Amino acid sequence: MIRYGYMLLALFILLVLPACASNYKEQKASNSTNKIKAPTSFEQLTFKSEGRTVFEDEGKFILIEGSKCVQHDSGEETATVLQWIELPSYVDRGTVVLNGWDLRFLHGDREVNSMLADITHSKVIKSEGSTFLVFEAQGRLNDQNRKDAYEFCVFYSGFGFRSVFFDATIEDDYNGVEVSTLQDKNQGALATLENTGSRGTLKGNATIAIIPRGFDFQFDDTFECEWRFPPCKWGDRVDYRLLQAAYSLSQSGMFPSLDGSPHWAVQTLFKDNSTRTYRIKARAAMIRGTSVKLRADFLALNSRTGKTDICRKNVDGIVRTQTFRIRDLPFDYAVPLLTGWDLSYECEQQQVQRAGIWLHDIHFDSNSRSLEYKVSSILRDKDGVPSFSVAQRITVLGLNQTRTSVQSNRAPVNIKIREH
């Protein structure tokens, strides 16, 4: 117990102190009656993650998945989730993937000003024979008034490995790499954010894989008139009904430029029936090396406009789940990454009660090198009419042992599945 006490103190210092000021505001707001009391950062760190071990090759590699939800009494503050996952002691490198999100207003539906799901920090900590993966996730759903209670759920996959068996280095893990832009409505609804890494990052046969960490969509402040007092205001926060929200991460790590610099891009859509000016941020981390492999898949985004003549008017509004299987992967170990999603109402713009998409129930069989997973999604207003359309893309991150490590380790693979 003493050891865990020191560990919690260390995690608190590393990840929590920068958020102290905002957490103090949250505590003040939540002290009033009939309001949701969001757990403090330290309170969250006192409980270990309930993540599930998907796959473990003991002594070499482990893959874990999990989720965590937190409620907030208003959209004025961003919801923060702090998680720590205990990893086997052999792990000396690891990271976390944003593999889904779920946002919902707790009381009815609203027009939308902003949507956020973002893993802002991640770190592997080793101390006194123990290893922990610690990360911070933030989420937000609000309208222009930012007074409505909401819930944010983050879905994640964490993996760790012993570096002696792999040529794989995780880059920009703690803060990730953030790209942002303002997409003017005159430029069209489809925004493109690009990042080019440092020259010489990729050498020889090395590959780089981009790990999705998050997005932040927000309609830009503008002039708006409504039935209120005062009716019009310059630079006011605005909200709109939602027609479509989409995200697609593409990467060309297998085909670097001549100077060895990797390139990746994110495309987004965030709109109602019309095209609006909106701000976008996206975050990612990277893993590179000759052990890193990719089975990339790209989602082409197409902007929808206005009302369609063909749409279902029946009540839907339920979580939709699909199961996917991939066989004969040329990888020793595989991690699925949710790199593309497109959520839209079937008919036309609607208010939002709940929106989300998440990857879960991962199963990897190292003998047949097959991967199975499920993807669930939801987009609805308060009555669930009309239904919604969804598309998604999964990129598979592969890790292969180096030839040297395979030749020096003749022992049979010891596969162990365990629950946290």
Question: pLDDT class for 393, splitting at 50, 70, 90?
Answer: very high
Q: How far apart are CA 382 and CA 240, in angstroms?
A: 16
Tokens 């890790």, residue? 399
Report the pLDDT value the prediction gives residue 14, as an integer from 0 to 100: 55
Question: pLDDT class for 2, splitting at 50, 70, 90?
Answer: very low
pLDDT, average across residues 174-187: 96
The neighbour count for residue 413, using CB atoms within 10 Å, is 12
Question: pLDDT class for 236, splitting at 50, 70, 90?
Answer: confident
Closest CA to 312 of 386, 377, 391: 386
Report the pLDDT value the prediction gives residue 231, as an integer from 0 to 100: 60
Whether pLDDT at 419 is above 50: no
CA-derived radius of gyration, the chain: 22
Q: How far apart are CA 307 and CA 297, in angstroms?
A: 30
Reading the block at residue 214, the tokens are 């998050």
Phi, psi (5° rounding) for residue 259? -90, 5
pLDDT, average across residues 270-299: 95
pLDDT, average across residues 334-349: 95
Q: What is the pLDDT of residues 302-340, one digit of tens each?
A: 999 877 666 766 667 899 999 999 999 999 999 999 999
Report the pLDDT value the prediction gives residue 221, as an integer from 0 to 100: 82
Report the pLDDT value the prediction gives residue 225, as an integer from 0 to 100: 62
Within a 13 Å sphere around the CA of 51, how many CA atoms are in the beta-carbon half?
Answer: 26
Give percent of the chain with pLDDT exceeding 90. 65
Question: pLDDT class for 22, splitting at 50, 70, 90?
Answer: very low
Report the pLDDT value the prediction gives residue 253, as an integer from 0 to 100: 47
Residue type present at position 353: Q
Q: How far apart are CA 118 and CA 105, in angstroms?
A: 18
Report the pLDDT value the prediction gives residue 347, as an integer from 0 to 100: 85
Pick 282 or 1 by higher pLDDT. 282
Buried b (16+ CB within 10 A) or exposed e, 295-334: bbeebebeebeeeeeeeeeeebbeeeeeeeebeebebbbb
Tell me how far apart the terminal alpha carbons of the chain are, to the nearest angstrom.
18
Report the pLDDT value the prediction gives residue 207, as an integer from 0 to 100: 86
Q: How far apart are CA 63 and CA 157, in angstroms?
A: 7
Report the pLDDT value the prediction gives residue 377, as an integer from 0 to 100: 98
* Cα dihedral sign, 103-106-112-113: negative
Question: pLDDT class for 28, splitting at 50, 70, 90?
Answer: very low
Reading the block at residue 413, the tokens are 């693979």
Report the pLDDT value the prediction gives residue 51, as an integer from 0 to 100: 86
Q: Where are the beta strands (DSSP E) in 242-302?
A: 244-251, 263-271, 278-289, 292-295
The helix/strand/coil state of 353 is: coil
pLDDT, average across residues 236-248: 93
Q: How far apart are CA 178 and CA 411, in angstroms?
A: 42
Q: How far apart are CA 65 and CA 409, in angstroms?
A: 28
Determine contact, residues 282/268, Cβ cutoff 8 Å.
yes
Tokens 């036309």, residue? 348
Reading the block at residue 156, the tokens are 């994640």
Report the pLDDT value the prediction gives residue 409, as an integer from 0 to 100: 57
What is the pTM assigned to this prediction? 0.86
Q: What is the pLDDT of residues 255-274, one digit of tens each?
A: 555 566 778 899 999 999 99
Question: pLDDT class for 29, splitting at 50, 70, 90?
Answer: very low
Report the pLDDT value the prediction gives residue 251, as an integer from 0 to 100: 81
Cα 61 to Cα 48, 58, 294, 331: the distances in Å are: 20, 7, 17, 13
Question: pLDDT class for 163, splitting at 50, 70, 90?
Answer: very high
Report the pLDDT value the prediction gives residue 259, as an integer from 0 to 100: 65
Q: What is the pLDDT of residues 194-227, one digit of tens each?
A: 988 777 667 777 888 999 999 999 999 876 665 5
DSSP secondary structure, 206-221, as one string = -EEEEEEEEEEEEEPP
Where along the chain do its domains lie?
2-28+36-408
Report the pLDDT value the prediction gives residue 316, as an integer from 0 to 100: 78
Question: Pseudo-torsion of CA 105, 158, 47, 29, nearest 10°?
Answer: -30
Mean of all residue pLDDT scores within the chain: 84
